[in-house]
Amino acid sequence: MMNPANQTQFIDQGLASDPTNRLPVTLTINGQAYPLQLESRVALLDALRENLHLTGTKKGCDHGQCGGCTVHIDGQSALACLTLAVMSEGKAITTIEGLAQGETLHPLQAAFIRHDALQCGYCTPGQLMAASAWLSGQPPRTAAEIQEAMSGNLCRCAAYPNILAAILEAQGA
């Protein structure tokens, strides 16, 4: 991974005086580098959905209140709506489109299907990205720990008991 501090100059560097002018921003998403021209105010979420058409990351509230836009940034779960794209440069971003290994679903994806842990499906990518980051490399969690840690991913269809069951199962996988 590139060191962002070395990669980018700082302080009055490389920015035009018209703030709506676009900046070169290279995002590394699911292992692939995407060079983009973006305004500084573009959120990572909008860069994904509008510029790269990676629409699996969902816009539910756009204010960090629903969890639908959860992605991984350097392995940790993050809200793409409250992240500026330009601040994501040099970081490893994983979206729902990069969760499965080719045709092989991530164990959580498979468990979500088995347990019917989704209905309308709109919050589902966020649920999966939040759970997969949080569980990764960790010992199995209790049901209560899952309830608490996943409370930032709202599911209005309320597939919650099935989401819990799926996560409990998948973390053993």
Q: Pick out residues in 120-149 that bind another protein (CB under 8 A).
A: 120-125, 128, 130, 134, 142-149
Which position among 26, 82, 107, 169 is part of the footprint of another protein (CB under 8 A)?
A: 82
Which position among 24, 32, 37, 50 is part of the footprint of another protein (CB under 8 A)?
A: 50
Which is nearest to 47 in space by CA: 60, 56, 62, 36? 36
Which position among 63, 101, 104, 172 is part of the footprint of another protein (CB under 8 A)?
A: 63
Angle in degrees, CA 65, 84, 158, rounded to 5: 25
Is residue 36 a contact residue for another protein (CB under 8 A)? no
Closest CB 139 distance from another protein, rounded Å: 14
Which position among 49, 93, 135, 170 is part of the footprint of another protein (CB under 8 A)?
A: 49
Closest CB 15 distance from another protein, rounded Å: 6
* Secondary structure, 3-state, 13-73: CCCCCCCCCCEEEEEEECCEEEEEEECCCCEHHHHHHHHCCCCCCCCCCCCCCCCCCEEEE
Closest CB 33 distance from another protein, rounded Å: 19
Which position among 27, 93, 94, 109 is part of the footprint of another protein (CB under 8 A)?
A: 109
Q: Would you say 129 and 89 are in contact if contact means Cβ atoms under 8 Å apart? A: no
Size of the site for another protein (CB under 8 A): 92
- Judged by beta carbon, residue 27 or residue 99, the one nearer another protein is 99
Alpha-carbon distances of 5 from 1, 80, 124, rounded to whole Å? 12, 21, 34
Distance CA 3, CA 7 (A): 6
